[in-house]
Amino acid sequence: MAELEFGLNSFGDVATDGGRVLSDAETLRLMIEEAQLAESVGLDVFSVGEHYREGMVDSATPVLLAAAAQATSKIRLGTSVTVLSTQDPVRLYQQFATVDGISGGRAQLVLGRASAIESFPLFGYDIADYEDIFEEKLDLFLRLMREDRVTWSGTYRTPLEAVRLHPRMPEGGIPAWIGIGGSPDSVIRAARHGLPLMMAIIGGRPERFAGHAELYLRALAQFGQPELPIAQHSLGFIADTDDEAKNVHWKHWQPVVKQVSEERGFYAPTAERYAEEVDTGRSTSDRLRPWRARSPASCRRTICRVST
C-alpha cells in the first residue's frame, strides 16, 4: 500500500491580525506557533521557504527551524525551498547538521535553483550562471553529505582538501529533495543524483505534472536508481467553511499573484478565473491544452504539502 504523508509549508509572509499588519518579529514567532499547530494536528512535516523580498521574513531558514525544533518534539522540519544557487554548500551543511542534531534527527531540505531571483544580486551572483552554479553546488553539497572527507574544486568557490565538517550529519546525510517548477531537465537531474522529487504546483490542475512524474520514474530506472518518493507542493487555505476560505484567501492571494504576474508576464488574476480554478482546479485557458489526467500508479510514496 502506498504511504501518504501531509505537511505544511510556510513562505514567511508577513501576517495580519484583525486587519493589523504584524511586525516582522511577530510574524517570526507566529511561524513557530504554526509548527506547533502542525504537529498537534498530526501532520508529518513542517517546512519553511527562503525569500529575500518585501513582505517575507523567511531569509534565515535554519534559524527558524532550530527554533521550531525546540518548540516541537516529533514533526519533521524542512525547507520549501533552499536556494542552493546562492548558498555556500559548506555553510549549508553545517547549518543543517546543527538543526538535525538539535531536533533529534528531524531535519530535511528541498534544494532548488530559485524561482525568485532577489538572492542573486544580494549575494553577488550573476543570474547568467543560473544553471551552472546550481549544478556545481549541488554536486558539492551531496558529496559533503555522502562522503566522510571531501577533496573538491570548482568555479564558484575555493577548493577543499580532505575536509571533514562538524557538526557531523548522520552517515549518508539528511533527507534531501530536488524541487522543480516544471523543467524536465530538473526532473532528470533529480533522478541522476538519486534524490526524491518535489513538484511545486502553484496553480492549475495537478494532472499537468503527471508527465513529469512519469519522466522521473523512467529516468530513475535508466540511471539504475531505486524508486524514490514523489511529492507535490500546492497553495491552500483552511477556514470553517468553503465560502469563508474562498473569500478570505482571495483577498490575500490576489495582490500577491497580481504582482508576480506583472513581474513574469502571465495573466493577471481575476475573480472569475479564481472561482473557476477553486471549483475545478482548471481555468478556461487550461481547457485548450491537452493535459493527460493520469497519475503514475507505481509511485510508492506521495508527499502532499500545503503552503500557508
Alpha carbon of 205 to those of 64, 142, 158, 212, 242: distances in Å?
Answer: 32, 33, 44, 13, 19
pLDDT of 214 strictly over 60: yes
Confidence bin at 29 (pLDDT 50/70/90):
very high
Helices (H) and strands (E) in the chain, counts: 9, 13
Q: Which pLDDT score, from 0 to 100, does residue 153 have?
A: 98
* Geometric angle at alpha carbon 307, from 174 and 254, rounded to 5°: 150
φ/ψ (deg, to 5) at 161 = -130, 105
Cβ atoms < 10 Å from Cβ of 57: 23
User: Which run of H or E residues covers position 76?
Assistant: strand 76-79
Closest by Cα among 208, 210, 213, 212 to 227 = 213
Confidence bin at 2 (pLDDT 50/70/90):
low
Q: Which pLDDT score, from 0 to 100, does residue 48 have?
A: 97
CATH among 3.40.50.2300, 3.40.50.300, 3.20.20.30, 3.40.50.10490 for 1-174: 3.20.20.30
Buried b (16+ CB within 10 A) or exposed e, 119-145: bbeeeebeeeeeeebbebbbebbbbbb
Q: Regarding predicted confidence, which is higher, 175 or 261?
A: 175
Confidence bin at 201 (pLDDT 50/70/90):
confident
SS3 category, 215: helix
Mean pLDDT confidence for 128-138 = 96
Confidence bin at 282 (pLDDT 50/70/90):
low
Confidence bin at 205 (pLDDT 50/70/90):
confident
Q: Which pLDDT score, from 0 to 100, does residue 287 have?
A: 40
User: Amino acid identity of 60?
Assistant: A
Closest by Cα among 4, 5, 24, 6 to 14 = 24
- pLDDT of 44-84, one tens digit each? 999 999 999 999 999 999 999 999 999 999 999 999 999 99
What residue spans in the chain does CATH classification 3.20.20.30 cover?
A: 1-174
Q: Which pLDDT score, from 0 to 100, does residue 5 have?
A: 94
